[in-house]
A and B are shown apart, each in its own frame.
Chain A
């Protein structure tokens, strides 16, 4: 291992983190990615940056339903958390992008987000002597369509966290969860609520795509935009529930403002739709049980982003 190589210590129960051979993690790449992430000059009018919509204190998500891009333009989808995002095999709520190393092109080039072509951004960064030097040090190349998204992906790969109370519980500390959170955990994994059919594993997601009955008709077709299959209408990637207490509002479009209302949605069985998941059937839950469930969900919050 060279001095600049960046090694991520993953707990045994975490899935493996794929790092491509042509973009090995280094401190220089991560620092460069972090600098770009916090630089308004990556947007066409130099008004917004990645951190505008992915706020560290909100687990790198946002508190708005739809975060505005340049000139206040609005897209269609809620800003997701980036913590542990690198574990997802497919990127985006519709899984349209197959590798993290080209994901950053979406916000960079979307006219509702940064609104700048990667070619123009490459020129802008190459004209900046400091950035030009940093890219050469990190990638041995100028800023270009290959290196810019890979600087971002390197930074996102470094955003791995397992510092929640739930992690401490999984690692053997039975006192890490309160009695209420333990009761909530039992409800979460019960057949009655069926949460864990979709939200399972150490990241509380199967990474599959599901229609959770949010609407009878969807304006945003979700996965169907990619597969062109009408059976995929309204299916979106099942999100990780880590840090869910910090990432309100919820759903693909940020339409549900609180976790209490999310639980109400699932308890009601949602709207009818031909592609709705078989697991969304509705359930009975008392006020006390809801409080316990919220206690468990709260225990999924990163304590101090200590690995970040």
Chain B
């Protein structure tokens, strides 16, 4: 009888040890959204923004230097070197995290491309695989007249004659090292065992704050040619981004 009791206890121990084994956070997948009036937008559709009818056909930006911190343990995810290409059809996956379940409370991101990659003097974008976020892309995220990348690219059209039809091209291409932007985002992202999802959201009301789309001087910036507009958009980034779940 004692033998059977011992056997049962031993069996229970085996199974309960398996139940107590910690399950780690394996993956965090980031998708990207762009909002106008708190609603996610679609490319190619018209929206009212700053009193004008606008349509965006390209909405992309680069992120790197990702650092996510929990309340108790400080930085628990650090992906400093990798560049992520944010866009409506993109998903960036941080895999192999192998960390304890936790809640992310702050996230540091850098909007743009790091110095070395941006210089193009060693490895340039043509030498990278097209799967590489810094490789050749369509729509292009590289400058051709300037070494380096467009950190942020928005292309579209605006209605300038009030007939409800977007008819005037607009283009906002921001790059160059001085316009790289570091952001600290307060967030509440619960990381549970296995795979997790989060959304990096860009509020276009905030990003384009102060931009009157009816003025020709606001229709495009390729950074150097309209530096004031580029700098305005970069400063607006402070309040444009959030990380949500």
Contacts and interface: CB of A to CB of B under 8 A. Distances in A.
A117 B138 contact: yes
B78 interface: no
A119 B224 contact: no
A226 B179 CA distance: 12
A102 B145 contact: no
B127 A92 contact: no
A94 B120 CA distance: 16
Interface string A76-115: 0000000000000000101011110110011011100000
A141 B124 CA distance: 17
Tell me which of B124, B140, B144, B224 has the highest count of chain A C-beta atoms within 10 A of its own C-beta: B144
Contact of B224 (A97, A117, A145, A224): A224
Nearest to A96: B146
A146 interface: yes
B127 A146 contact: yes
Q: Residue among B127, B140, B224 with the most chain A CB within 10 A?
A: B224
A286 interface: no
Contacts of B124: 99, 101-102
Contacts of B13: none
B195 interface: no
B126 interface: yes
A2 interface: no
A228 interface: yes
A134 B143 CA distance: 28
A234 to B, nearest CB: 13
Interface string B137-178: 010101111110000000000000000000000000000101
Interface in A17-56: 22
A225 B179 CA distance: 13
B223 to A, nearest CB: 7
A187 interface: no
B127 A22 contact: yes
Contact of B146 (A118, A146, A226): A226
Contacts of B125: 102, 145
Interface of A: 22, 92, 94, 96-99, 101-102, 105-106, 108-110, 117-119, 145-146, 149, 221, 224-226, 228
Interface of B: 119-121, 124-127, 136, 138, 140, 142-147, 176, 178-179, 223-225, 227
Given A108-B144, A110-B145, A117-B140, 5 more contacts: A101-B124, A102-B124, A105-B126, A109-B140, A228-B224
13 contacts: A98-B119, A99-B147, A102-B126, A102-B147, A108-B144, A118-B140, A145-B125, A145-B126, A146-B127, A149-B126, A226-B146, A228-B223, A228-B224
